[in-house]
């Protein structure tokens, strides 16, 4: 879909709160990604993962350091950055097709054209035939598919995902992981994906970054060269199991600090 979508984050620290309640959420973080790369950021709850993602999206200010996307400083929300959260943000009063087309409507695109593009996106995410449904008529996994379609229709250079499958049951979650990979392999948009689930991170990513307890820092980087497309058989391979145990050991070591 795009040939860019490169973040460059240098010596980033983020402080939250005021006065005596102020604290450092993220400390001295640096990393970059390649165009079309799928990066997972793994860490314990409360380590600053979501705060880091919010700052990358331009919603939270950093206290030091810089974030650039394709060389441009990010200091506010940017149309080139798509966001998907754990809880969907679909409009309950709008039908699926109009939820997906919302961004195009805000850009002044006429109804017939935005509906045409929305139908294409719904076909991409496997929801053809659900155009006239309301969000409440869909399962949790289907709602997240609509959410992803609504982001993709705006052709972002990079998609930031904050535990988007965290509220789903285990079987639906695995199904959504496979769905996400199938969509991503077709468009190759850069993805930064936040999770605290080790298996999810290892299954999805090209590269895994592990964060420490708060204040969050990157303490390990693991390249994942498992062949694509990936299937659930990967979860039982010796290398996958070995890496899962390694990540668990790294995270457990943080609990004793």
For the chain, domains (ranges, CATH) are: 7-80+158-254 (3.40.50.300), 92-155 (no CATH)
What percentage of the chain carries pLDDT values higher than 90? 80
pLDDT score for 117: 95
Is the pLDDT at 1 greater than 60, yes or no?
no
Averaged pLDDT for residues 6-15: 95
Kindly report whether the peptide bond that precedes residue 30 is cis, defined as omega within 30 degrees of 0.
no
What is the overall mean pLDDT for the chain? 92
Q: Label residue 19 by pLDDT band (50, 70, 90).
A: confident
Averaged pLDDT for residues 92-107: 94
What is the per-residue pLDDT across 166-210, written as a single tens digit (0 to 9) for each? 888 889 899 999 999 999 998 889 999 999 999 999 999 999 999
What percentage of the chain carries pLDDT values higher than 70? 98
What is the per-residue pLDDT across 122-154, written as a single tens digit (0 to 9) for each? 998 989 999 999 999 999 999 999 999 999 999
Is the pLDDT at 114 greater than 90, yes or no?
yes
């Amino acid at each position: 879909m795009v040939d860019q979508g490169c973040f460059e984050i240098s010596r980033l620290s983020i402080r939250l709160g005021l006065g005596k309640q102020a604290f450092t959420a993220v400390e001295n973080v640096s990393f970059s990604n390649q165009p079309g790369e799928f990066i997972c950021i793994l860490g314990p709850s409360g380590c600053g993962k979501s705060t880091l993602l919010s700052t990358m999206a331009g919603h939270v200010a950093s206290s030091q350091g810089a974030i650039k996307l394709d060389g441009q400083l990010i200091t506010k929300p940017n149309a080139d950055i798509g966001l998907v959260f754990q809880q969907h943000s679909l409009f309950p009063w709008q039908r699926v097709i109009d939820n997906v087309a919302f961004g195009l409507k805000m850009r002044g695109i006429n109804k017939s054209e935005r509906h045409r593009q929305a139908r294409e996106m719904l076909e991409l995410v496997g929801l053809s035939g659900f155009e006239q449904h309301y969000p409440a008529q869909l399962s949790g996994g289907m709602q997240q598919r609509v959410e992803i379609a609504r982001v993709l229709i705006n052709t972002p250079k990079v998609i930031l995902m904050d535990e988007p499958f965290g509220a789903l049951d285990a079987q639906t979650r695995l199904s959504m992981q496979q769905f996400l990979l199938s969509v991503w392999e077709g468009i190759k948009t850069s993805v930064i994906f936040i999770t605290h689930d080790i298996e999810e991170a290892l299954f999805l990513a090209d590269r895994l970054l592990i964060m420490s307890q708060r204040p969050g820092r990157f303490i390990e980087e693991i390249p994942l060269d498992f062949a694509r497309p990936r299937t659930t058989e990967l979860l039982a391979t010796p290398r996958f199991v070995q890496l899962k145990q390694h990540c668990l050991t790294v995270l457990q070591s943080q609990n004793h600090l």
